[in-house]
Amino acid sequence: MGMDRVYNFSAGPSMLPLEVLERAGAEITNYQGSGMSVMEMSHRSKVFQKIFDDTKANFIRLFHVPDNYKVLFLQGGASGQFSMVPLNLIGRTGKADYAVTGNFASIACKEAKKYGSISLAASSEDRNHTYIPQQDQLKLDPEASYFYYCANNTIYGTEWQYVPDTGDVPIVCDMSSNFLSRPVDVSKYGVIFGGAQKNLAPAGLTIAIVREDLAGHELPYTPLMMNYKTMIDKDSMYNTPPCWCIYMLGLVLEWLDAQGGVEGMEKIKHSKAALLYDVLDNSRLFTCAAEKDSRSDMNVTFRSASEELDAKFVKEATAAGFTNLKGHRNVGGMRASIYNAMPVEGVEKLADFIRAFDKNN
Ligand SMILES: Cc1ncc(COP(=O)(O)O)c(C=O)c1O
């Protein structure tokens, strides 16, 4: 760890690998002899074009994106995709299915209702989003233009452990909070998207992976900037892209590659999460918010029996160098977000801290 750096358990924006930050720091005023910062470069320059092309190629290679998909580097956040998805995809039948397993899927569902007829394929609201519905609980419409779900529910700490079977209906998935934490069979999806600010890069970049045949069927009033086809045709450079974030993504992907790619991440992410869940399950004071078979490997949500004790935990953890552990107000308690860049050591030390707190209180 660099001097004075904390273990930052923020849900996002969140930790970036220290090597990446140091490399960006070293290159910040003069990128590889260009005499300027990446922040100062024209997005049409040769130097930046190479950064862009290499980053995109590495993303495609590391995430195993098939040839009939386009990778787009967009802005507007994952929230922008809540509008872009229906605008571009719902025109086929006018209908779509949404599984609402948390806050962001709920917002996406509400937004989509502006553009078509939306049916609730599943909801976990009955138990405050503590679980993920099983395949046989999904109410699927074979005529839906697409089926939508959020792979990892950042706030509630639940994660889909399977890819839904929707027959011929294309699947749209928000992977904001578990992007590149494990291999994904992209060919099972129509669109995958996510904000970069958890696992991939600083805030400001949104990645969308779009099956090419799904683009070009947008509703007639789709804003130019929200049209997948516009961005595909111009290779994400219809307008100025988020250049700095794309450069940072490139550095994170180089780091990821050196860790064994998404396969390497998958190996450690589950053991990192298991370390925390084991300590919590064996504690006297703490209970986990999510049901066992739906627990997220990225966001570990837990609480003690009282708000006072939760507050004491957060305060003492912060003083010990474990920051941003306060849970989201919808859930209360605590949340430890342990994305790709959180070192195993940080999780081990937090597990020790939880064990000691449990013993002493
Ligand atoms: C799963 C998920 N989807 C969507 C969002 C919203 O993302 P953005 O702030 O990039 O619009 C978040 C933000 O935390 C999220 O966790």
Please give the distance, rounded to the nearest whole angstrom, from the Cα atom of residue 155 to the centre of ligand 1.
Answer: 10
Q: Mind listing the pLDDT tens digit of every residue in the chain (361 residues)?
A: 445 899 999 999 999 999 999 999 999 999 999 999 999 999 999 999 999 999 999 999 999 999 999 999 999 999 999 999 999 999 999 999 999 999 999 999 999 999 999 999 999 999 999 999 999 999 999 999 999 999 999 999 999 999 999 999 999 999 999 999 999 999 999 999 999 999 999 999 999 999 999 999 999 999 999 999 999 999 999 999 999 999 999 999 999 999 999 999 999 999 999 999 999 999 999 999 999 999 999 999 999 999 999 999 999 999 999 999 999 999 999 999 999 999 999 999 999 999 999 999 9
217-238: per-residue pLDDT in tens?
A: 999 999 999 999 999 999 999 9
Secondary structure of residue 192 in the 3-state scheme: strand
**Going by C-beta distance under 8 Å and a sequence separation of 6 or more, which residues neighbour residue 359?**
none
- Which of ligand 1's atoms lies nearest the C-alpha of 195? 10
Listed residue (273, 293, 249) closest to 57, CA to CA: 249
From the candidate CATH numbers 3.40.50.1860, 3.10.20.30, 1.20.120.1200, 3.90.1150.10, the one assigned to the domain spanning 261-360: 3.90.1150.10
* Ligand 1 centre distance from Cα of residue 79 (Å): 6
Q: Whole-angstrom Cα distance, residue 350 to residue 348? A: 5
* Residue located via tokens 């707190």: 357
The alpha-carbon radius of gyration of the chain (Å, integer) is: 21
User: What is the torsional sign of CA 177, 212, 71, 231?
Assistant: negative
CA angle 177/186/228 to nearest 5° reads 80
**Which atom belonging to ligand 1 lies closest to the Cα atom of 11?**
14
On whether the CB atoms of residues 161 and 182 are closer than 8 A, the answer is no
Nearest-angstrom CA–CA distance, 145 and 96: 5
Contact 86 CB / ligand 1 (< 6 Å): no
CATH 3.40.640.10 region(s) of the chain?
22-258
Write down the pLDDT at residue 118.
Answer: 98
79 close to ligand 1 (CB < 6 Angstrom): yes
Integer Cα distance of 65 and 84 in angstroms:
21
How far is the centre of ligand 1, averaged over its atoms, from the C-alpha of 176 (Å)?
A: 6
Kindly state if the Cβ of 200 falls inside 6 Å of ligand 1. Answer: no
pTM (predicted TM-score): 0.98
CB atoms within 10 A of CB 42: 12
Give the pLDDT score at 3: 59
Per-residue tokens: 291: 């049901």
What are the start and end residues of each CATH 3.90.1150.10 domain in the chain?
261-360
For the stretch 331-350, pLDDT in tens is 999 999 999 999 999 999 99
Query: Looking at ligand 1, which atom is closest to the CA of residue 152?
Result: 1
Say how many Å lie between the first and final Cα of the chain, rounded.
Answer: 30
Has domain 22-258 been given CATH number 3.40.50.150? Answer: no
CA atoms within 13 A on the CB side of 299: 33
Chain Cα centroid distance, residue 179: 5
> What Cα–Cα distance (Å) separates residue 134 from each residue in 10, 137, 145?
29, 5, 21
For a substitution probing ligand 1, which of 106, 155, 176 has the most ligand atoms within 8 Å of its CB? 176
96 alpha carbon to ligand 1 midpoint, in Å? 21
> Would you say the CB of residue 75 lies under 6 angstroms from ligand 1?
no
The answer to whether the CB of 174 is under 6 A from ligand 1 is yes
Q: Which has the closest alpha carbon to 108: 146, 54, 137?
A: 146
pLDDT of residue 4: 86
User: Which residue has its alpha carbon closest to ligand 1 atom 9?
Assistant: 77
Which ligand 1 atom sits nearest the alpha carbon of residue 150? 1
Any atom of ligand 1 within 6 Å of the Cβ of 104: yes
Structure-derived torsion over alpha carbons of residues 301, 305, 308, 310, reported in degrees to the nearest 10:
-20
User: Pick from 203, 191, 129: which is nearest to 159 by CA?
Assistant: 129
358 alpha carbon – ligand 1 mean position (Å): 32
